[in-house]
Amino acid sequence: MIKLYTDQSFLTEANRKVVFPLLFDLWYLPNTILLEKYQLVDSVESCDIAVIPVDLAHYGTTKMIHSFIQKALHAKKMVWVYSAGDYGQTLTYPVYTFRHGGIGSRLDKSTFVLPAFISDPLKHLGHKFESLHKESKPQIGFVGHANNSVSKRIKELLIYLKYRFDKITAKLKTDAQPFYPSSSKRFKLLKLLADDGNVETDFIFRKKYKGGFTNQQDSNQGTTVFFENIDRNPYTFCLRGAGNFSVRFYETLAMGRIPFVIDTDFKLPLNHNIDWKNHCVIASEKQVVQKLLSFHNSISESDFKKMQVENRNLWLNFLEREAYFLQVYTVFKQKINEV
């Protein structure tokens, strides 16, 4: 059992959307399996780990954050912080930070990347997992926001300039992020694949994020089209959005398919015990077509199917929400025992 202390006054209905995900599973909708591993206690002195209860941006002032962390460190306790959103924030304190993305080469070993916590896509489609056969040409799919229009490029630049202004004026406290026009980048890289005769592509380009659907029925249908595309293609093209991570990456793994992901200096979850090169194909922007062809031509039919099975199991056992925090438990139980 790992004992967690937090400021429970923040565990309110108003904070449901910004609370540390594990605390949500222990407090709001109690998960009986996780409650066998984690226990909330009422004092920092009796805990193993002190947890700032909500996203750093919603906890309050810098003084409040400093006070909470210093109180825990003075009691010789480990500290967890949660930095949500596209960018995330690195603190200078000796704490463990849980976040979705960031520039991988700038993140240290105390950073734990959170997967995108998604529902099982196969349940949405209503069928069981089956691996696909290897064809002579790589088959790669994509459904999503990919737009190279001048207006879109201007919009992405304006959004980034607003982010920079908010950061300079201290309205937004996040790590610095370079400009990355993800929609137009996506369009250009997808076109390279589509124009190559050695690659079979199955692309549906959307001009707006999530298709721009305005009603639930259209949104549900769009989701079905999205997952059907992943299901029928062994590879799915994955590229970061505003933040340096891809939700599609995790959806592809959950469906037992192979993410073909563009290297944008990202960090992946649990990389201390997951050998990620066995579960995805990572390509630089300059070698998109070459990397896909090289990988596909070098893998055997049996290993091709095995990789799909292992990707489905990886999501079930490491990246699904409950499974992820069970893995985190194992990591920190060892750290506690070593103290």
- Nearest CA among 102, 122, 124 for reference residue 112: 102
The confidence score (pLDDT) of residue 55 equals: 96
The percentage of residues in the chain with a pLDDT greater than 70, rounded to a whole number, is: 98
Burial degree of 126 (CB within 10 A; 0-12, 13-18, 19+)? exposed
Positive or negative torsion for Cα 291, 294, 298, 299: positive
Q: Per-residue pLDDT for 236 more than 90? A: yes
Question: Among the listed ranges 98-102, 123-127, 219-223, which one has the minimum average pLDDT value?
Answer: 219-223
Report, in angstroms and rounded to the nearest whole number, the Rg of the chain calculated over CA atoms.
21
The percentage of residues in the chain with a pLDDT greater than 90, rounded to a whole number, is: 81
Residues 294-304 pLDDT 10s:
999 999 999 99
CA pair distance 247, 235, nearest whole angstrom: 15
Is residue 210 very low, low, confident or very high in pLDDT (cuts 50, 70, 90)? low
**Token representation of residue 152:** 């879109």
Do 231 and 208 meet the contact criterion of CB atoms below 8 Å apart? no
Is residue 176 very low, low, confident or very high in pLDDT (cuts 50, 70, 90)? confident
Q: Per-residue pLDDT for 122 more than 90? A: yes
Q: Per-residue pLDDT for 282 more than 70? A: yes
What H or E segment, with its residue span, contains residue 4?
strand 2-6
Q: Per-residue pLDDT for 177 more than 90? A: no
Is residue 284 very low, low, confident or very high in pLDDT (cuts 50, 70, 90)? very high
Question: Among the listed ranges 134-138, 175-179, 314-318, 326-330, which one has the minimum average pLDDT value?
Answer: 175-179
Q: Averaged over 88-107, what is the pLDDT?
A: 94
SS3 118: coil
φ, ψ at 178 (rounded to 5°): -75, 160
CA pair distance 315, 321, nearest whole angstrom: 9
The confidence score (pLDDT) of residue 139 equals: 98
Name the average pLDDT for the chain.
94
Residues 8-61 pLDDT 10s:
999 999 999 999 999 999 999 999 999 999 999 999 999 999 999 999 999 988
Q: pTM to 2 decimals?
A: 0.94
Residues 124-174 pLDDT 10s:
999 999 999 999 999 999 999 898 888 888 898 999 899 888 888 878 888
CA pair distance 82, 7, nearest whole angstrom: 14
The confidence score (pLDDT) of residue 148 equals: 87
CA pair distance 296, 312, nearest whole angstrom: 19
**Token representation of residue 140:** 């790669």
Could you give all domains of the chain from N- to C-terminal order, each with its CATH number? 2-114 (3.40.50), 121-147+181-319 (3.40.50.2000)
